[in-house]
Amino acid sequence: MLGVTDLPTYLAGLVLIILLPGPNSLYVLSVAARKGTRTGYKAAAGVFTGDTILMTLAALGAASLLQTTPLLFTVVKYAGAGYLAWMAYGMLRAALDMWRSRREPAGAGTESPESGSTEHPYRRALVISLFNPKAILFLISFFVQFVDPSYAYPALSFLVLGTLLQLGSFLYLTTLIFSGTRLAAAFRRRKRLSAGATSAAGALFLGFAVKLSLSSAA
């Protein structure tokens, strides 16, 4: 169908890809919990944009470039790891501020360096998406497997595959956003809980950074 081969297998793999925990989904959940539904969707839009760029690169055959140019892969890998580590630092610092202000009345001192107006959730989510070499290689190689090389219009095949991915991602991130807004009320009432959750998110981002720095193009 439209140059797409083995669609059921693609859909099954798609579900696993979307549900696999990663920095993108964690960041969207974190933003929604701290700043509400609208800001959560801004972060989700950054993820959608990043995915679109990766899919475009997939259609252009960028996988071979990364695999045959170790220096380029190394630059992307360490840039991504550094950015995730910087975000982890911001989250851990915000958690420390929450812990120090835990005895203040609810609503006081809730703004932090990580949740302030200069956070730019769309831009952050976009950068997280783009600077993830493992995701780049996986998405590119995954898409290629389901495009019929003999089909006259391969761009249409990629469009079909990409649309399905974006639809699944939208449904999943929407679930996370509304889950996050439900958590927000509890976090506002309980600063220790908020500090603990932010610390856990920071630790996970630090783990993503370490994992990224140890990844390889092979």
Q: Where are the domains of the chain?
A: 7-14+24-104+118-213
Three-class SS state of 144: helix
State how far the Cα of 191 lies from the Cα of 181, in Å rounded to an integer. 16
Best CA proximity match to 25, nearest among 214, 137, 179: 179
Whether residue 59 has pLDDT greater than 50:
yes
pTM reported for the whole predicted model = 0.70
Percent of the chain with pLDDT over 90: 11
More confident residue, 121 or 157: 121
- Residue 82: CB atoms within 10 A of its CB come to 14
- Residue 176: CB atoms within 10 A of its CB come to 21
Would you list the DSSP string of 109-122? T---TTTSTT--HH
More confident residue, 114 or 22: 22
Give residue 85's pLDDT: 83
More confident residue, 110 or 142: 142
171 sits in which H/E element: helix 154-189
State how far the Cα of 218 lies from the Cα of 94, in Å rounded to an integer. 37
Three-class SS state of 123: helix
Whether residue 99 has pLDDT greater than 50:
yes
**Range name among 19-28, 161-170, 203-212 with the lowest pLDDT average:** 203-212
Give the side-chain half-sphere CA count within 13 A for 192.
Answer: 1
Q: Would you place residue 106 in the very low, low, confident or very high pLDDT band (cuts 50, 70, 90)?
A: very low
State how far the Cα of 128 lies from the Cα of 188, in Å rounded to an integer. 27
Q: Is there a contact between 30 and 173 (Cβ–Cβ < 8 Å)?
A: no
Burial per residue of 54-72, b for 16 or more beta-carbon CB atoms within 10 angstroms, e otherwise? bbebbbeebbeebeeeeee
State how far the Cα of 181 lies from the Cα of 43, in Å rounded to an integer. 14
